Amino acid sequence: MLTVVVQAGGQSSRMGEDKALKPFLGHPLIQRVIGTLAPIADEVIVTTNRPAEYGFLNLRLIPDLKPGRGALGGLYTAIASANSPLVAVVACDMPFASPNFFEGARSLMVREDADVVIAKTGEGYEPFHALYRRETCLPAIESAIDADQWKVIAWFPKVKVRELTADEVKDLDPSGLCFWNLNTPEEFLEAERRASGR
């Protein structure tokens, strides 16, 4: 059983408008992300503090359960809200989010009894396109928040983290675009160009 949680909580300050709702090839970007990942999910949830704006999705909309706790609070909300034992967390501004990545991560997680399956790129860990085991991750994140820690990965020492190698990531996402999150109008245009094969 897999829950996909799409996080629509960011400020979108560099974009100048809500990234999740900005049209991408004619539809809100968040709809593209959901449409791509829904086929592998038993449940799809959106975390947002502005549920009124996302009602058109007809999905469960969950506001922050730990308000004011930044990205770590957002991750807690995503994992706590899921009904499935495995939770794929993805940001709403990733137009090339990869179902294949999550399918591969799921078989690794089951085979190796991992709690987190995550990639590490030149930018560091990619916690908002990663897979989590709810039962073990939730208490670990909660204790990090209680200890006033803020880093999204502050709780990693408490769980079994399976870090994907560069080759494994390449196998799971040959395009190399699954972690690309759009922050500027220029990136948006470039992503639309790539998505439409131009």
Query: What confidence tens digit (pLDDT) does each residue in 81-109 have?
Result: 999 999 999 999 999 999 999 999 999 99
Pick the CATH number of 2-195 from 1.10.490.10, 3.40.50.170, 3.90.550.10, 3.90.1150.10: 3.90.550.10
Residues in the chain: 198
Across 182-190, average pLDDT = 93
Confidence class of residue 197 from pLDDT cuts 50, 70 and 90?
confident
Query: Which is nearest to 100 in space by CA: 176, 42, 166?
Result: 176
Q: Which residue has the higher pLDDT, 121 or 105?
A: 105
Query: Strands 124-125 and 116-121, how do they pair?
Result: antiparallel
b/e code 96-132 from CB counts within 10 Å (16+ = b): bbbbebbebbbebbeeeebbbbbbeeeeebbbbbbbb
Across 62-68, average pLDDT = 94
Confidence class of residue 14 from pLDDT cuts 50, 70 and 90?
low
CA distances from 16 to 10, 11, 21, 183, 185 (A): 12, 9, 12, 9, 8
Share of the chain above pLDDT 70, in %: 95
pLDDT surpasses 80 at 16: no
